[in-house]
Structure 1
Amino acid sequence: MSRKVVRTSKFRHVFGQAVKADQCYDDIRISQMTWDSNFCSVNPKFVAMIVEASGGGAFIVLPLSKTGRIDMSYPNVCGHTGPVLDIEWCPHNDNIIASGSEDCSVMIWEIPEGGLTQPLKDPVVKLDGHSKRVGILSWHPTAHNVLMSAGCDNVVILWNVARGEAAVRIDSLHTDLIYSACWNSDGSQILTSCKDKKLRVLDPRKGTVIAEKDKPHEGSRPVRAVFVSEGKILTTGFSRMSERQVALWDPKSFDEPLTLQELDTSSGVLLPFFDPDTGVVYLCGKGDSSIRYFEVTDEAPYVHYLSMYSSKESQKGMGYMPKRGLEVNKCEIARFYKLHERKCEPIVMTVPRKVNTFILSLLDVQALQNEVKELREMVEDLTKRVTELESKN
């Protein structure tokens, strides 16, 4: 008996493909900052990228349809006095974007329909509360006007954006620089990774620790963490020998990881993007030229390697399109916006489907329906004739 060794999965043949050159965004001077954020944020209307700017920080906002070469004089969002470190579109309003900067402030901007026609210097709201640079932003997934920011002052602040004030300030839990901070799917918990080598699950209402894990990865380099399905946590980090790792944890029993896999010896921090609809997690390394993707399931070894998209040029940042911005009729399950030094290149992840067979089967069904219709008409006609003959006799 031959044993089946290939695991069956609907996403085993997912493949990535870069769009044609004329669908890229060219001649954009992407920021040279060494900060480990995405540097790019996208939604179904706009793509925003942090760019080089003299005399302060700026980012450019382009309508998705404005592809090709971007003129050097194209207007920027340029209200910060220091370099912009992170940008994040609001999930509830596609025209609202938040930015965090080295000038210790968070600003909320409203982008007009169709994009900018002149430089935008005045934010809708300015949020002051951090004493050092603000490098992490994340909007609440379900509640309107709630924004989380984390700064180099080791403080996490939950803002009431409508009022322009801090609703919750978590300033005594983190003893060092915060590497990452994110919400779970319904916004009832916050997950942070910190330079003090601790992973923390927080209650955002009370500002207290629900669960804590010391040294999820042995190495001293930055750890990234995201919530995945069923409340589990996926982390990326480094071993003591500086090998990149990916691990899955159950916060109810934080002692040992459900799985821990070593990937390679590159030095770039792996940015994880999780898709809850498909259970696929994408790992994009800063400075890498590839995107690895894995399927997260509830069967060992829990994190199953699927494949890898590779290209020649390395990425300086990565934007991830929300599901509602994808072309699902083309079997698209994810789309990334890869930043090069001077351009932004969309990369489409597709599940191959036997479309031709599907169309043929539809045509077959239509043909059968037409035949049935003709047969019914013939039967009705014959019935009428029989009735007429019977009435004559």
Structure 2
Amino acid sequence: MSRKVVRSSKFRHVFGQPVKADQCYDDMRISQMTWDSTFCSVNPKFLAMIVDASGGGAFMVLPLSKTGRVDIAQPTVCGHTGPVLDIEWCPHNDNIIASGSEDCSVMIWEIPDGGLTRPMTESVVTLEGHSKRVGILSWHPTAHNVLLSAGCDNVIIIWDVSRGEPVIRLDSIHSDMIYSAAWNSNGSRLVTACKDKSVRIIDPRKGTVIAEKEKTHEGSRPIRAVFVSDGKILTTGFSRMSERQVALWDPKNFSEALTLQELDTSSGVLLPFFDPDTGVVYLCGKGDSSIRYFEITDEAPYVHYLSMYSSKESQKGMGYMPKRGLEVNKCEIARFYKLHERKCEPIGMTVPRKSDLFQEDLYPDTIGPEPSVEAADWFAGKDGEPILISLKEGFVATKTKEFKVHKSLLSTTSSTAHRQTDGTDYHSLQEEIKKLKITVEELSKRVSSLESKK
């Protein structure tokens, strides 16, 4: 007689806990675009959501503390001339956010502390280089002011944001639309998923494909790919019979998946969020009402199902809080901001523990906001590992201001570059305005004298 042994895991009993109704964000008009992005981005200071806008594209930025009903006159960031498709906060500066749009541009914005008091139409810098809409943005995890953008022109551009220049352009690797692009932990590699059903691992600075797997998923719907533990690749996609799948791959042997599991027959694209500190991956389906979580280990079947959080309302998008923004005294290991039709609902993923002491096994040193390498050095070939911080002291009072978030150079160098490109003749313009004023005054005197003679 055999006895089935249940695999032990400290995350087996993780449960999702939504906040109370008065701590949600209510009465926003979330974008109706059908693009498969998260529509939401969050950091320890701000929550940003793509919203409907007439005559262009816009997204809303709210301080995390500004919960409840959102004023109909709440200012938005509205500088794009087409709908906004993706937004992402800079990991090294909580006031800097990037947005990609149907107008083929990428814009970088600096949000003032306390949030917006009036509509923001002028970006810090505008990045132009795509010929079709820009639907994917991803900041470099360790290099300062390095941003990746991917468009429907099948091109990936890697920008030096402080200079406002495209430094790397990958335009011959993908033959069809790019569905996803993600960095590895130190930003030395990229993994992309394409409409041709191939997943590629790319050395971005050399512009070469290191490994490629064709037909990772047989279905024709979008595929997502992210790096997980030990350089492995996790993908989500669809089978030939339109069943949703999750698979784990070892790039050293790309011929066959380590594991491939079928989940259900829903049609929404599964968005993966991986936590390197715990080895847990969360799968959030567009249009679903649930969040599944799995633990990735070195033992078969490698991707172990843990549990699922379900609610009544389906999700239009999802924001994922960086680890440094969690409440560690509540044993919160992840927090999502779930977008509904007109509401955003925070959901904390919590490990049940009776002790109020800091749980060191749940919170190893995690990625902090400090970059480890400058943009010029990274483009020259230097890599930097993430600089880790301890959460033990940082979150005793659960206040984000206790973190030493260093101000990015972006707000100074890019603003200067922007003024140099748009206002090189600033002083000469002032002189011209003075001369015009003098001329207008002289003409006014002449007209009045002529009228008096009549």
| TM-score (norm. length: structure 1) | 0.90
3-state SS, counterpart of residue 87 of structure 2: strand
3-state SS, counterpart of residue 329 of structure 1: helix
Aligned to 2:398: none
Distance 2:44 2:354 in 1: 27
Verify: 1:101 aligned to 2:104, yes or no: no
Look up the equivalent residue of 1:326 and give its one-letter code. L
3-state SS, counterpart of residue 324 of structure 1: helix
Distance 1:259 1:118 in 2: 51
Verify: 1:35 aligned to 2:19, yes or no: no
Post-superposition offset of 1:207: 1.1
| TM-score (norm. length: structure 2) | 0.78
Aligned to 1:372: none
Aligned to 2:408: none
Post-superposition offset of 1:4: 4.5
Look up the equivalent residue of 1:53 and give its one-letter code. A
Distance 1:66 1:354 in 2: 31
Higher strand content, 1 or 2:
1
Aligned to 2:62: 62
3-state SS, counterpart of residue 349 of structure 1: strand
Distance 1:356 1:86 in 2: 38
Distance 2:115 2:291 in 1: 30
**Deviating 4+ runs (over 3 angstroms):** none
Report the aligned-residue RMSD. Answer: 1.1
Distance 2:340 2:13 in 1: 27
Aligned to 2:418: none
Distance 2:356 2:218 in 1: 50
Aligned to 2:316: 316
Post-superposition offset of 1:354: 2.3
Distance 1:336 1:356 in 2: 23
Look up the equivalent residue of 1:286 and give its one-letter code. K
Distance 1:3 1:240 in 2: 36
Post-superposition offset of 1:356: 7.5
Distance 1:348 1:79 in 2: 33
Aligned to 1:281: 281
Look up the equivalent residue of 2:64 and give its one-letter code. L
Distance 2:356 2:167 in 1: 55
Look up the equivalent residue of 1:222 and give its one-letter code. P
Residues 260-293 of structure 1: per-residue CA shift (max 9 Å, x gap) = 0000000000000000000000000000000000
3-state SS, counterpart of residue 159 of structure 1: strand
Aligned to 2:248: 248
- Please identify the structure whose Cα radius of gyration is greater: 1
Aligned to 1:125: 125
Distance 2:2 2:33 in 1: 54
Distance 2:129 2:84 in 1: 17
Aligned to 2:179: 179
Verify: 1:230 aligned to 2:244, yes or no: no
3-state SS, counterpart of residue 108 of structure 2: strand
Aligned to 1:189: 189
CA contact (8 A) 2:329 2:356 kept: no
- Return closer, same or farther for 1:357/1:56 CA change in 2, 3 Å cut-off: closer
Residues 231-276 of structure 1: per-residue CA shift (max 9 Å, x gap) = 0000000000000000000011000000000000000000000000
Aligned to 1:297: 297
Post-superposition offset of 1:357: 11
CA contact (8 A) 2:329 2:357 kept: no
Distance 1:177 1:164 in 2: 25
Aligned to 1:368: none
3-state SS, counterpart of residue 230 of structure 1: helix
Look up the equivalent residue of 1:293 and give its one-letter code. Y
3-state SS, counterpart of residue 22 of structure 1: helix
Distance 1:68 1:346 in 2: 12
Residues 73-126 of structure 1: per-residue CA shift (max 9 Å, x gap) = 000000000000000000000000000000000000000000000000000010
Mapping for residues 197-212 of structure 1, pairs under 5 Å? 197-212=197-212
Look up the equivalent residue of 1:236 and give its one-letter code. T
Aligned to 1:16: 16
Post-superposition offset of 1:36: 0.1
Q: Percent identity?
A: 85
Look up the equivalent residue of 2:228 and give its one-letter code. V
Distance 2:20 2:177 in 1: 40
Post-superposition offset of 1:3: 2.7
Look up the equivalent residue of 2:90 and give its one-letter code. C
Distance 2:258 2:160 in 1: 37
Look up the equivalent residue of 2:134 and give its one-letter code. V
Post-superposition offset of 1:211: 0.5
Verify: 1:169 aligned to 2:169, yes or no: yes
Aligned to 1:141: 141
CA contact (8 A) 2:90 2:97 kept: yes
The alignment covers a number of residue pairs equal to 358
3-state SS, counterpart of residue 264 of structure 2: coil
**Worse-superposed segment, 3-12 or 59-68:** 3-12
Verify: 1:346 aligned to 2:346, yes or no: yes
Mapping for residues 147-162 of structure 1, pairs under 5 Å? 147-162=147-162
Post-superposition offset of 1:17: 1.0
Aligned to 1:239: 239
3-state SS, counterpart of residue 162 of structure 2: coil
Look up the equivalent residue of 1:244 and give its one-letter code. R
Verify: 1:85 aligned to 2:104, yes or no: no
Distance 1:191 1:353 in 2: 36
3-state SS, counterpart of residue 157 of structure 2: strand
Distance 2:6 2:19 in 1: 30
Residues 167-205 of structure 1: per-residue CA shift (max 9 Å, x gap) = 100000100000000100100000100001110000011
Look up the equivalent residue of 1:187 and give its one-letter code. G
Aligned to 1:371: none
Aligned to 1:390: none
Aligned to 2:268: 268
- Return closer, same or farther for 1:161/1:7 CA change in 2, 3 Å cut-off: same
Aligned to 2:49: 49
Aligned to 1:363: none
CA contact (8 A) 2:155 2:171 kept: yes
- Return closer, same or farther for 1:125/1:6 CA change in 2, 3 Å cut-off: same
Distance 1:198 1:2 in 2: 42
- Return closer, same or farther for 1:356/1:231 CA change in 2, 3 Å cut-off: closer
